[in-house]
């Protein structure tokens, strides 16, 4: 097994890879590696701890983002089921948020003034990143298909007239 023979210490996973590995018959090699960190996305919360224990992985971190988007997040704390942490201390430096979305219709929930409603800690929602034109990190240039671009932008988020990328 390459992970063992090459003494690898960090591994990246995507999607369901961890579930596939976990569903394989147990082997003595399951813990015979030097992996200290696995990093990726899509590890199901109900599998996380069992996978970590069976394969003796000291730390698992998740991330969420897209190549074209301006909203990325990371869970470096290893909190099971979390893809990241949104700081309330630095919103001007990293203007991302979770906004409320109707779980049935998937429509954005707005307050009486027509503004998006921010989620409270632990509430599900849509992850967004404020669009700031001419800022290489905060801008969103869109897609070749204008209608696809429009579907990824929400207006009147933090204040009247602003807009954000819908992840």
pLDDT at 121: 82
Alpha helices by DSSP H, the chain: 2-5, 17-22, 45-54, 146-151
Start-to-end CA distance of the chain, whole Å, equals 37
**88, 37, 33: which is closest to 58 by C-alpha?**
37
pLDDT at 128: 94
Secondary structure E strands in 20-140: 37-41, 59-64, 73-75, 96-99, 126-130
Residue 28 phi, psi (nearest 5): -65, -30
pLDDT at 78: 87
| Residue 144 CB neighbour total at 10 angstroms | 6
pLDDT at 1: 65
What are the domain boundaries of the chain? 1-64, 69-167
pLDDT at 43: 92
pTM listed for this prediction: 0.76
The C-alpha atoms of residue 36 and residue 18 are separated, in whole angstroms, by: 15
Tell me the pLDDT of the chain (167 aa) as tens digits.
688 889 999 999 997 999 999 999 999 899 999 999 999 998 999 999 999 999 999 999 999 888 888 988 888 888 888 877 777 676 667 788 899 999 999 999 999 999 999 998 888 899 999 999 988 888 999 999 999 999 999 999 989 999 999 98
| Residue 43 CB neighbour total at 10 angstroms | 25
pLDDT at 155: 96
């Amino acid at each position: 097994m390459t992970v063992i023979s090459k003494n690898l210490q960090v591994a990246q996973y995507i999607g369901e890879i961890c579930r596939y590995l976990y569903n394989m018959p147990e082997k003595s090699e399951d813990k015979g590696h030097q992996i200290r960190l696995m990093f990726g996305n899509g590890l199901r919360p109900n599998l996380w701890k069992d996978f970590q224990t069976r394969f003796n992985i000291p730390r698992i971190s998740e991330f969420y983002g897209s190549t074209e988007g301006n909203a990325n997040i990371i869970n470096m704390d290893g909190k099971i089921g979390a893809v990241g942490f949104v700081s309330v201390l630095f919103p001007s430096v990293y203007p991302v948020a979770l906004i409320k979305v109707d779980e049935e219709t998937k429509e954005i929930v707005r307050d009486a003034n027509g503004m998006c409603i921010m989620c409270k800690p632990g509430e599900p929602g849509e992850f967004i990143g404020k669009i700031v034109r001419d800022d290489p990190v905060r801008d969103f240039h869109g897609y070749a298909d204008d209608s696809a671009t429009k579907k990824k932008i929400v207006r009147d988020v933090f204040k009247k007239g602003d807009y954000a990328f819908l992840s």
